[in-house]
Amino acid sequence: MKFESAIRGRRSIRRFKPDAVPQELIREILDEARWSPSWANTQAWNIYVVSGKTLERLKDAGKAPNQREAPAGPDFRMPREWPPHLAARTRQLFDLRSAFAPGPTGPAEFFGAPCVLFFAAEKGLANDYVLFDGGLIVQSVCLAAHDKGLGSCIMAMAVRDPDTLRELLPRAADKKFVIGVALGYPDNEAAINRFERQRAQLDEFVTWAR
Ligand SMILES: Cc1cc2nc3c(=O)[nH]c(=O)nc-3n(C[C@H](O)[C@H](O)[C@H](O)COP(=O)(O)O)c2cc1C
């Protein structure tokens, strides 16, 4: 796939087919994505590939909202307030999206994706660049997945209850969860996967200084 088709053709998929993704294909994607850059080559990312019974358990936990007395909330604060010019872009997205139904299962069930990747950092690493580097490998994963005919949706919603992730996933007790990525074969007929997306014009965010 040409670079331009990859970067422009990737989009957030919110309705997946139920077909399982072969483990070998996921391995290939991760093997390509591991060449992402990171701060001084630290590669401080940890990736959990979750499917099958473990994914079902996670979904069940999501249906019975956090029973803890004081749910901790996400490991990384989610932004609530945006300045008006940025909030307007989100409003535009929600207006566009609201016309189309997402996967029958919705975000709580990862739009029906048969696999979800969770990206985590070691708990002690309170460094913003860990998040920055996480973003780089997540984009690489999404582009590599698209190149192989898979769809993805980056999901902050997937890590809103990190205590449950720490409980259910192996070797996760000492991790902070950054983001989830739903992964699977896209339902390319579904309108929610086809609406025309918007982007700001270059003049809105590029400054040339000659
Ligand atoms: C950090 C981050 C968190 C996101 N969380 C969610 C989410 O929880 N649910 C969702 O449906 N989309 C989520 N998205 C997808 C964005 O809405 C999407 O990338 C944006 O609207 C641009 O659309 P596109 O990915 O189709 O090009 C997230 C994207 C990023 C980068």
> Do the domain assignments include residue 71?
no
Residue nearest atom 20 of ligand 1, based on CA coordinates: 12
Q: Which pLDDT value is given to residue 99?
A: 82
Q: Classify residue 149 by its DSSP letter.
A: T
What's the whole-number mean pLDDT along residues 57-84? Answer: 83
Q: Is 107 exposed, middle or buried (0-12, 13-18, 19+ CB in 10 A)?
A: middle
Identity of the amino acid at 40? A
Q: Which pLDDT value is given to residue 68?
A: 62
> Do the domain assignments include residue 77?
no
Q: Which pLDDT value is given to residue 18?
A: 96
CA–CA separation, 169 vs 180, rounded Å? Answer: 13
What six digits make up the tokens of 188? 């390319």
Q: Which pLDDT value is given to residue 199?
A: 96
CB 158 within 8 A of CB 179: yes
Percentage helix, strand, coil, to 5, in the chain? 45, 15, 40
Expressed as residue numbers, the domain containing 49 is 18-64+85-196
What's the whole-number mean pLDDT along residues 39-56? Answer: 97
Cα-to-centroid distance, 13 and ligand 1 (Å): 9
Quickly state the pLDDT bin for 101 (edges 50, 70, 90).
confident
Quickly state the pLDDT bin for 70 (edges 50, 70, 90).
low
* CATH (domain of 128): 3.40.109.10
> Do the domain assignments include residue 43?
yes
Residue nearest atom 19 of ligand 1, based on CA coordinates: 12
**Does the predicted model carry a pTM greater than 0.85?**
yes
Q: Which pLDDT value is given to residue 72?
A: 77
What's the whole-number mean pLDDT along residues 140-167? Answer: 97
Ligand 1 neighbour 143 (Cβ under 6 A):
no
Taking phi first (over 0 means left), then psi (-120 to 50 degrees means alpha), and beta for anything else, what does residue 106 get?
Answer: left
Q: Structurally, how many domains does the chain consist of?
A: 1
Q: Classify residue 174 by its DSSP letter.
A: T
